[in-house]
Amino acid sequence: MKLFTKTTAVLLIIALAIGCATVPLTGRRQLSLVDDGEIQQQAALVYKEFLADPSTKVVKSSSAAQSVQRVGKNISAAVNKFLTESGYADQYDFNWEFTLVQEDQINAWCMPGGKVAVYSGILPVTKNDAGLATVMGHEIAHAIAKHSAERMSQSIVAQAGGAAVGIATSEKSNATRAIINTAYGLGGQLALLSYSRNQESEADRLGLVFMAIAGYDPNEAVGFWERMAQAKQSQGGGAPPEFLSTHPSDARRINDIQKLIPEAMKYYKK
């Protein structure tokens, strides 16, 4: 056990020395062992394959599709403005794409590089452009905070092996494939899930600022998350204990967002 502890400690020191990055707005230092540019290239390929899949029903001509495009363009413009004014613009080279997919699932996501998909199942919950901006701002915030690269970096450390660091620093494409297929023990899972909850909260904060800069009232975010909580209850899906979830509990998230609104309102102009 002592040997394992020392090895892990050395690995952590090496990892921290290899690479750290800073999240815009929050200023949080994060571990960065994988190349974000490569992740974006892979994400672009996966996104292209996703859209080309016969089972993916892309909605192109509808008022809802127009809303997704409109809100997406407004949020991305707000993000670009924020990054430029904050001095982070040179760290990002996103090629934005926004797609509405006909799918009953209540979901939306943004891949590294700005590839965004919104599922039609979430539209009854968003209700309007402000609700949609809440969702898209949050998902885009994950990409801006480079949470995917960070999670991969955390996975490398979780393997607690010097070879993993070697892979991460020399053969990054191999590292990416290896990390995706990595299985963790229970302790490792709980540690990573906790980190994911922190990332979710960070995305909430960034997302509120992005929607505010884009001209959407951050107060609308509370209503969206309240409707989301109701939607989950109506589907009969009981939430797992918070310490076993990758997301904060609904009550905690809403309470935290209410505390973050004053900061976001500083960026809001009607």
**Which residues are marked as active site?**
139
Kindly tell me the sign of the dihedral angle through the C-alpha atoms of 147, 150, 152, 158: negative
| Euclidean distance between CA atoms 177 and 152, whole angstroms | 10
| Euclidean distance between CA atoms 229 and 217, whole angstroms | 20
Find tokens 């008022």 and name the residue.
Answer: 63
The gap between the terminal CA atoms of the chain, to the nearest Å, is 58
Closest CA relative to residue 106, chosen from 140, 135, 64 = 135
The side-by-side arrangement of strands in the sheet containing 115-119 is: 58-59, 97-101, 115-119, 108-111
